[in-house]
Structure 1
Amino acid sequence: VSAQSSIHVFLCREVWEKTANYSETMLILSLLVLAITGVTIQVLLHYLKLLLYTRRFPKAGLIYPLIGNANKLYDVPPEEILPVILKLAMKTDLRKMAAALGTKSIMMVFHPETTEAILSSNLHIGKSVEYDPLNDWLGGGLLLSKGAKWKSRRKMLTPAFHFRILEDAMITFNKYANNLTQSLLADGDCGRASLDIFPFMAKCTLDIILESAMGTGWFIQSQKSMDYPQVVNAMLRLIQHRQRSPWLMPDILFNLSPWKRKSDEYLSVLHGFSRSVIEQRRNEMKNSKSNDLGKRTAFLDLLLQARTSEGQELSNSDIQEEVDTFMFEGHDTTACALSWTILLLANHPEEQDRLYEEQIDIFGQENIDGLIENHHLNQMKHLEYCIKEALRLYPSVPVYGRTLESDVKLDGEIVPKGTDFLVISYLLHRNPLIWDRPNDFLPRRFSSDFSSGSSSTTTTTTNKNNSNNNNNNIEPKSLHRSPYAYVPFSAGPRNCIGQRFAMMEEKAILSTLVRKIKFVAIDRVEDVKPVIEIVTRPHRGIHVQCVPR
């Protein structure tokens, strides 16, 4: 009896344990099914929300669950992204286009009225998620910061771009522009060899921003091997790849990918260089007399001497994020603008000749190699037109992104809060509703006397094969354009703080170059593809011959 009882108890216990294990397994499976069901419902509801949003506007095509419209860009070569977006935009009302990247709703705009709706706002000033991959590099600097931090930093740094300080930078502009001229003529064998001019422009503008804004002379142009410009290029390519791959945008997934190791390698170089710049200037300040500070620089000195509202010095990370931001923005965007301008001038020798004649009128033949002074810049009207037209065709920043803080009515329909609003300046500047012959290089369109009658003597085209177009059939739309039709430095409260500095720098460099070098085209304009890598970069460079005058 005792043995039978033991067997009975054992069997009951075994049955109970199996039942308990089965119940536990079923509970886990049930919870897993509920979780999957919940996630699926959330995805479907969000997808339905995206469909309802996009159906009210012209859209970029069919929206797929989880990826949105990312399929249209992922397998596209970098140099074909802008043409794809342009092709899609031409099927719309040329004002706006709804899209989705991953699960994020997007509104692209490329008309002055729809552009003004976002750029003029004092509410919608937070940058969109497309800027998130820049966080590890630029931190919370002026480009990426928002709210109270952005307002306080903007107020703190604005004095660094006072006109008197900008005038002091002319010595720096002259010095490094002349170094650039010598480098182009030497490396180009006085016009007998072709050069990719972009690396030369990048080194020159980096020299200028380091000395004029950071107060430290590094003489980058004299260094044959310099890691920083090359690593900037590599980092921007990585960021662009991440931006068009929705699965790499979340940090948790990006950190698990092989791209993370590459990013860390690049950041080590970029941050190491900016820390060296800060440390060098800090040591110079310690060894300088107080009344000498600020003579050569304003920007970095302001950061090193700044105090918070609580009276505390800025932390090392606060200083570095602003230095990283301005070193990148202060040299790379200007290098792009200079390179595109030279490409256009090389392909339009009549405009280049007109620039040279203007320089002779200003300096005189006997002083054609003279140094530029501030009053000279105001006389360089045609040079200014050429720079502005180059920035219209190839804006240094092709896309500006904001995240909506509230619902916005756009052309009578509601764009919901949280949508990423992208101003496609590259398309805005080529919108045929706004610009006459939008793809043509017409510097005089920025002249106050531009008219259909006068344009026949100044019109050129970005494509030489189309040079036989009837130039007399041009209506001067540019005379009546909105201020939001042309935004190479953005617009509204978050416009570029250094735009006056950039224009002075570009005019000084191009004036020096045009007076000493005749640029001869190797690449045709239509063969040089622009690539969106935060800035508008030339795919595979820009090649010209540099012939001494």
Structure 2
Amino acid sequence: MGTSSSDFDHVINLCADVVAQTKSKIVSYWIMGFYPVLSVCHSETAKVVLKSSEPKPKHLGGGYSMFIDWLGDGLLLSEGKKWERNRRLLTPAFHFDVLKPYAGIYNKVFDIFLDKMEKATSGGDSVEIYDSVGLATLDTMLRCSVSYEGDIQQQGSIHPFVDATRRLGHLAQLRLLSPWLWHKFPFYLSPTGREFSKHVKYIHDFDEKVINARRKSLESDPSILKKRHLDFLDILLTARDEQGVGLTDREIRDEVDTFLFEGHDTTASAISWGIYSLAKHQEEQQKVYEEVKSILGERKNVEWSDIQEFTRLSLFIKEAIRMYSPVPAIARVTTCDMEIDGVKLPVNTEVNIMIHVLHHNEDAWIKPGEFRPDRFTDNGGRDPYDYVPFSAGPRNCIGQHFALDEQKVALAKLVQRFRILPDPNHEPVPNKEVVTRSKNGIFIKLEKR
């Protein structure tokens, strides 16, 4: 297959069509006629790549290269011994004992979100939710990562951190679709590059100010860690490897930026499409509502123990993120010769794992275009690599339990308070970019229960 486009949505849809027609497990294509990319589209080929610890492609034109100056060498982009060390050091940040107190933060954040939604739909109007959900998940990430509360949801794009984060994501995507800006020299001379640099400086200055203040606070009174719940920054500042060496300030900054970027945008996609799925599938919404009502009763807050009890909601979320994969594709680059399905790949070959295609492969899923949460009551003989919304293998998403817990609290509180209805005049069109968004927004209506 050949293409002159770097349009993610176009490429992913083409791969899906090729797989449906030919049952291929690998699809290859060319970007701009000279840059070859191999895509694996079946669990048998995907697992070969995912079981390895191959790094993300950061070479010129590689999708992840557009984020290096912003995210640095955090877990998303680091490789080799550094990645292995930092992955070990960060793992305690996602232990259940650390995640448990975050339930209170999820409740506070989504109470603000629900109040906004109630006000916006009080006259029976529909409301576009993706923007507001994104503010809520960014609010969550800032509170959980560095204990920052800054009226994120109320101020929206007026808040400089919100504006910087949104613009950086947009500018990185714009650069990826503009090969003449792949080289740093023309990029940073361009208006796009100059704006990117301005926002990166703001984000890094913000991080460094928070990190320095927290480090000084801990040095002056280490006992404060026993007086409150730990956030992500606390874990980073106190982590030590086998030699007793901790992370440098630059490494901490990179991990904070990575956590904020990866954690808020992907979860915003998952929650938004989950809300849309509740609206579209009323029978499934009723099942979720009845479960939430039976577990919460008259309580408004979702407690940590409740999260573990949401079985129907869990099935619903699994199906929603199968249908609308928050991250539709990821990439790796080979560090040694590799053979996949009889195809020999040399070193430095970029391989895309088409998660969206895996999640809609008819070899694994019965009627994959239908929304059927009950398909997850058993695996139906599926390979574990048929369903990889958080990637898989050694480089899987370290924060997947954090993300799923946040989704459960958000959707449980929503269905408890409102009946979610579709807007027949606004059917969303999925757009599979770095995350799956909608080309025309996601609109819903709400009725107070």
Matches of residues 384-423 of structure 1 in structure 2 within 5 Å?
384-423=314-353
Q: Which residue of 2 aligns with 1:29?
A: none
Q: Which of 204, 211, 229 does residue 136 from structure 2 map onto?
A: 204
Q: Which residue of 1 aligns with 2:146?
A: 214
TM-score between both structures, scaled by the size of structure 2:
0.91
1:502 corresponds to 2:399: no
Q: Which residue of 1 aligns with 2:36?
A: 105
For residues 216 and 135 of structure 2, the distance between their equivalents in structure 1, rounded to whole angstroms, comes to 24
For residues 418 and 103 of structure 2, the distance between their equivalents in structure 1, rounded to whole angstroms, comes to 20
Deviations 1:452-505 (A, max 9, x none): xxxxxxxxxxxxxxxxxxxxxxxxxx5111110000000000000011111111
State the number of aligned residues: 444
Q: What is the letter of the counterpart of residue 320 of structure 2?
A: A
Structure 2: runs of 5+ lacking an equivalent: none
The offset of 1:506, in angstroms, is 0.8
1:528 corresponds to 2:447: no
For residues 511 and 83 of structure 1, the distance between their equivalents in structure 2, rounded to whole angstroms, comes to 32
For residues 204 and 440 of structure 2, the distance between their equivalents in structure 1, rounded to whole angstroms, comes to 26
The structure that has the greater radius of gyration is 1
Structure 2 vs 1, CA of residues 215 and 514 (structure 1 numbering), >3 Å: closer, same or farther? same
SS of 2:36 mapped into structure 1: strand
1:383 corresponds to 2:383: no
1:547 corresponds to 2:442: no
The offset of 1:425, in angstroms, is 0.4
For residues 342 and 444 of structure 1, the distance between their equivalents in structure 2, rounded to whole angstroms, comes to 18
Alignment root-mean-square deviation, CA: 2.5
Residues 338, 510 of structure 1: 8 Å contact kept: yes
Residues 51, 392 of structure 2: 8 Å contact kept: yes
Residues 137, 268 of structure 2: 8 Å contact kept: yes
Q: What is the letter of the counterpart of residue 444 of structure 1?
A: D
1:180 corresponds to 2:117: no
Matches of residues 92-491 of structure 1 in structure 2 within 5 Å?
92-102=22-32, 103-122=34-53, 124-127=54-57, 129-186=62-119, 188-190=120-122, 192-224=124-156, 225-279=158-212, 281-282=214-215, 284-285=217-218, 290-293=223-226, 295-307=228-240, 314-364=247-297, 367=298, 369-448=299-378, 478-491=379-392
Deviations 1:407-443 (A, max 9, x none): 2212222122211010010111111222111111111
For residues 284 and 442 of structure 1, the distance between their equivalents in structure 2, rounded to whole angstroms, comes to 50
Residues 331, 353 of structure 2: 8 Å contact kept: yes
Structure 2 vs 1, CA of residues 419 and 205 (structure 1 numbering), >3 Å: closer, same or farther? same
The offset of 1:270, in angstroms, is 2.9
Structure 2 vs 1, CA of residues 80 and 411 (structure 1 numbering), >3 Å: closer, same or farther? closer
Structure 2 vs 1, CA of residues 439 and 232 (structure 1 numbering), >3 Å: closer, same or farther? farther
Matches of residues 58-69 of structure 1 in structure 2 within 5 Å?
60-61=1-2, 69=3
The offset of 1:306, in angstroms, is 3.9
Which has the larger displacement, 253-262 or 297-306?
253-262
Structure 2 vs 1, CA of residues 308 and 446 (structure 1 numbering), >3 Å: closer, same or farther? closer
The offset of 1:247, in angstroms, is 3.5
Q: What is the letter of the counterpart of residue 258 of structure 2?
A: T
The offset of 1:526, in angstroms, is 5.6
The offset of 1:307, in angstroms, is 4.9
Q: Which of 437, 442, 446 does residue 537 from structure 1 map onto?
A: 437
The offset of 1:149, in angstroms, is 0.8
Residues 428, 443 of structure 2: 8 Å contact kept: no
For residues 276 and 285 of structure 1, the distance between their equivalents in structure 2, rounded to whole angstroms, comes to 14
For residues 536 and 383 of structure 1, the distance between their equivalents in structure 2, rounded to whole angstroms, comes to 21
Residues 337, 344 of structure 2: 8 Å contact kept: yes
Larger RCO (CA under 8 A, 6+ residues apart): 2
SS of 2:127 mapped into structure 1: strand
The offset of 1:325, in angstroms, is 0.5
The offset of 1:156, in angstroms, is 0.6
Residues 521, 543 of structure 1: 8 Å contact kept: yes
Which has the larger displacement, 425-434 or 306-315?
306-315
Structure 2 vs 1, CA of residues 205 and 282 (structure 1 numbering), >3 Å: closer, same or farther? farther
The offset of 1:547, in angstroms, is 2.1
Structure 2 vs 1, CA of residues 338 and 303 (structure 1 numbering), >3 Å: closer, same or farther? same
Deviations 1:54-111 (A, max 9, x none): xxxxxx13xxxxxxx3x2x25x6x7655434433544443311112335443110111
Residues 372, 508 of structure 1: 8 Å contact kept: yes
Residues 215, 281 of structure 1: 8 Å contact kept: no
The offset of 1:362, in angstroms, is 1.5
Q: Percent identity at matched positions?
A: 35
Q: What is the letter of the counterpart of residue 133 of structure 1?
A: M
For residues 228 and 519 of structure 1, the distance between their equivalents in structure 2, rounded to whole angstroms, comes to 31
For residues 176 and 246 of structure 2, the distance between their equivalents in structure 1, rounded to whole angstroms, comes to 35
Structure 1: runs of 5+ lacking an equivalent: 1-59, 62-68, 449-477
For residues 217 and 525 of structure 1, the distance between their equivalents in structure 2, rounded to whole angstroms, comes to 34
The offset of 1:281, in angstroms, is 3.7
For residues 204 and 527 of structure 1, the distance between their equivalents in structure 2, rounded to whole angstroms, comes to 21
For residues 516 and 202 of structure 1, the distance between their equivalents in structure 2, rounded to whole angstroms, comes to 20
SS of 1:414 mapped into structure 2: strand
For residues 81 and 284 of structure 1, the distance between their equivalents in structure 2, rounded to whole angstroms, comes to 49
SS of 1:274 mapped into structure 2: helix
Q: What is the letter of the counterpart of residue 545 of structure 1?
A: K
Q: What is the letter of the counterpart of residue 197 of structure 1?
A: I
The offset of 1:523, in angstroms, is 5.8
Deviations 1:287-341 (A, max 9, x none): 6561435832242112223456776653332221111110111211111100010
For residues 139 and 148 of structure 1, the distance between their equivalents in structure 2, rounded to whole angstroms, comes to 16
SS of 1:527 mapped into structure 2: coil
The offset of 1:539, in angstroms, is 2.2
Q: What is the letter of the counterpart of residue 198 of structure 1?
A: Y
Residues 138, 321 of structure 1: 8 Å contact kept: yes
The offset of 1:206, in angstroms, is 1.8
Residues 188, 197 of structure 2: 8 Å contact kept: no
Q: What is the letter of the counterpart of residue 366 of structure 2?
A: D
